[in-house]
């Protein structure tokens, strides 16, 4: 038994600054996909999808949703592994995932896989409010695994 409480994830509070300024097609290029293979080449970076208050409210809702699926791998805990993988994902207005990839590794494959699995398990994501613009959205999510 692992008596330590599960740490809270730190997704979505603030993305890495460089990610917020990148056009959505960069995420597809970084994942190795051809942009013409994407369903919607006009994916909107989530941070620019509307009024900042609306986006922040949605990000809070998304963060709470993802936190329910956060799991720190027990083996990684035992091995003392820590890190912050960054996953880039694209999703539709209805919350369905289009794609998700690992942009930055934590340096530990178990943690990287846990971050990707968290997103897969969390699908579908919360629906995007009508007052936000765009049909698909991209977002870079740092997922911190820290043993405190």
> In this structure, what CATH number is given to the domain that contains residue 33?
3.30.2420.10
Instruction: For residue 81, give the 3-state DSSP assignment.
Output: coil
Mean pLDDT of 26-50: 48
- What is the pTM assigned to this prediction? 0.70
Strand-pairing partners, residue 136, are 92
Q: Is the pLDDT of residue 69 over 90?
A: yes
Q: Is residue 8 part of a domain?
A: no
Q: Is residue 10 part of a domain?
A: no
Strand-pairing partners, residue 146, are none
Q: Is residue 43 part of a domain?
A: yes
Strand-pairing partners, residue 137, are 44, 91
Q: Which of 45-54, 76-85, 89-98 has the lowest mean pLDDT?
A: 45-54
| Res 65: pLDDT | 97
Q: Is the pLDDT of residue 33 over 60?
A: no
| Res 31: pLDDT | 33
Structural domain containing residue 43: 17-142
């Amino acid at each position: 038994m692992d008596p330590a409480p599960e740490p809270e994830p730190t997704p979505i509070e603030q993305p890495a600054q460089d990610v917020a300024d990148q056009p959505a097609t960069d995420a597809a290029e970084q994942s190795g996909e051809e942009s013409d293979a994407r369903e919607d080449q006009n994916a909107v970076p989530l941070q620019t999808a509307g009024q900042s208050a609306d986006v922040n409210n949605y990000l809070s809702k998304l963060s709470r949703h993802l936190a329910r699926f956060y799991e720190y791998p027990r083996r990684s805990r035992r091995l003392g592994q820590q890190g912050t993988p960054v996953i880039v994902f694209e999703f539709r207005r209805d919350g369905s995932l289009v794609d998700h990839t690992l942009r930055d590794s934590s340096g530990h494959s178990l943690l990287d896989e846990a971050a990707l699995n968290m997103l897969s398990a969390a699908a579908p994501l919360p629906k995007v409010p009508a007052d936000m613009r765009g049909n698909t959205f991209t977002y870079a999510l740092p997922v911190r695994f820290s043993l405190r």
